[in-house]
Amino acid sequence: MALIVHKYGGTSMGSSERIKNVAQRVAKWQAAGHQMVVVPSAMSGETNRLIALAKEIQPQPDGRELDMICATGEQVSVGLLAMALKAQGVDAVSYAGWQVPVRTDNAFTKARIQSIDDERVRRDLDAGRVVIITGFQGIDGDGNITTLGRGGSDTSAVAVAAALKAEECLIYTDVDGVYTTDPRVVPEARRLEKVTFEEMLEMASLGSKVLQIRSVEFAGKYKVKTRVLSSLTPPDIPLAQEAASGTLITFEEDNSMEQAVISGIAFNRDEAKITVLNVPDRPGIAYQILGPVAEANIDVDMIIQNASSKGMTDFSFTVHRNEYQAALAVLNEQVKEVIKAGEIAGDPKIAKVSVVGIGMRSHVGIASLMFRTLSEERINIQMISTSEIKISVVIEDKYMELAVRALHKAFGLDQPAV
């Protein structure tokens, strides 16, 4: 017998029939002897409906009041799921975040969880009840309702699992796991049975949007075994089969893991690159360039500065493509003259492709294999950035699919794991 946390997204909670399916699945796990905690999202479309309503009244909604309103979506979900379980003869009880309580800071609409009390929940579990807790929300030190921001229910589920020291946190979603790359680009893409949380972090932030990135950070920080699996399997499939499906995010580089050096190829073409040419290479220059960009609320992703030559260097970074023009304007108006830069150049037609893998740490030659593969396809590399477990390159966007397919094959990701 173990304590298990299930998380279900808005699609799984989207109608009374689907809610009954969720209840059937949870009941199956409880019948197998597990103590069950369930964290559901709001019914699909509900949070958007509430936000639209709020914006009709106040185009820039007040954060506290918006949280008051949006938190109701999950509150309805937990009540309905408790009813669905009771209707199937399983004792259950629902809690809003403030009832547990799930304590957060007071950053309305994007609060962070600080602590979760487990006393009340444990009492119910010991009494044989399924406990259902609202995702996405908590209570701040002044008793105000807070929400964690979009996708926050993943984070809630992992945080609850951490607080209860759950055996595993299962995130049911509309994909059946984490893949070596996007199957729509590479049909040979394989589902990973396991992935480390560091790899998952790199994959998530690079656009493999299976899990909210903060939930992955939480899982890593508290070493919560988290599994991403399909909510589309019939609720009555054998438990052993379901429990082994999907992708497990582990926090150990254990030896039983797949020995692949690279776990996956991530990519996106949402970015644009900007280069400030002929910048005097002196202390503070990076801040002088990026300070005004940050003040304009423009997020920056990759930042690259080459070694200087003759006291001058080129400074490049990428921004979201939607903010490309705004970033150029900031640089031309506020930066160029001040730092006496040469020219501001830019290109929105780029793509970023990354190879990600925890095995990279102890293997040489990953970078050279990557660069050789791209070279053989005659794809020019415009920028390179590396981390401990990731190498990213910026290329012309029309070569993105070609690069991803070539790299996927070169790193043997289309071969079954040994």
Q: Does 329 bind its own copies (CB under 8 A)?
A: no
Cα(235)–Cα(184) distance, rounded to whole angstroms? Answer: 27
From candidates 30, 41, 47, 75, binder to its own copies by CB under 8 A:
75
From candidates 6, 20, 227, 408, binder to its own copies by CB under 8 A:
20
Cα(405)–Cα(281) distance, rounded to whole angstroms? Answer: 39
Q: Does 127 bind its own copies (CB under 8 A)?
A: no
Pick between residue 14 and residue 342 the one whose CB is nearest to its own copies.
14
Pick between residue 19 and residue 37 the one whose CB is nearest to its own copies.
19
Q: Nearest distance from residue 73's CB to its own copies, in Å?
A: 8
From candidates 3, 32, 51, 76, binder to its own copies by CB under 8 A:
76
Tokens 């949280």, residue located: 67
Q: Of 3-11, 57-65, 199-207, 237-245, which segment contacts its own copies by CB under 8 A?
A: 57-65
Q: Does 104 bind its own copies (CB under 8 A)?
A: no
From candidates 64, 122, 225, 336, binder to its own copies by CB under 8 A:
64
Per-residue buried b or exposed e for 191-201, using 16+ beta carbons within 10 Å of the residue's own CB: ebebbbbbbbb
Residues within window 350-409 making contact with its own copies, judged by CB under 8 A: none
Output DSSP code: residue 309.
B
Pick between residue 95 and residue 324 the one whose CB is nearest to its own copies.
95
Q: Nearest distance from residue 80's CB to its own copies, in Å?
A: 5
Q: Of 72-80, 212-220, 266-274, 329-337, which segment contacts its own copies by CB under 8 A?
A: 72-80
Q: Does 50 bind its own copies (CB under 8 A)?
A: yes
Q: Nearest distance from residue 106's CB to its own copies, in Å?
A: 14
Q: At 373, which helix (H) or strand (E)?
A: helix 366-376
Q: Does 157 bind its own copies (CB under 8 A)?
A: no
Q: Site map for its own copies, 182-201, x if CB under 8 A?
A: --------------------
Q: Nearest distance from residue 271's CB to its own copies, in Å?
A: 35
Q: Does 141 bind its own copies (CB under 8 A)?
A: no
Q: Give the ranges where 14-118 is alpha helix by DSSP (H).
A: 16-31, 46-57, 63-87
Q: Nearest distance from residue 29's CB to its own copies, in Å?
A: 19
Residues within window 272-291 making contact with its own copies, judged by CB under 8 A: none
Cα(42)–Cα(40) distance, rounded to whole angstroms? Answer: 7
From candidates 66, 189, 216, 356, binder to its own copies by CB under 8 A:
66
Q: Nearest distance from residue 334's CB to its own copies, in Å?
A: 33
Q: Does 143 bind its own copies (CB under 8 A)?
A: yes
Q: Nearest distance from residue 19's CB to its own copies, in Å?
A: 6
Q: Does 26 bind its own copies (CB under 8 A)?
A: no
Cα(50)–Cα(66) distance, rounded to whole angstroms? Answer: 9
Pick between residue 41 and residue 288 the one whose CB is nearest to its own copies.
41
- List residues binding its own copies (CB under 8 A): 16, 19-20, 50, 53-54, 56-58, 61-62, 64-66, 68-69, 71-72, 75-76, 78-80, 82-84, 86-87, 93-94, 96, 98-99, 143-145
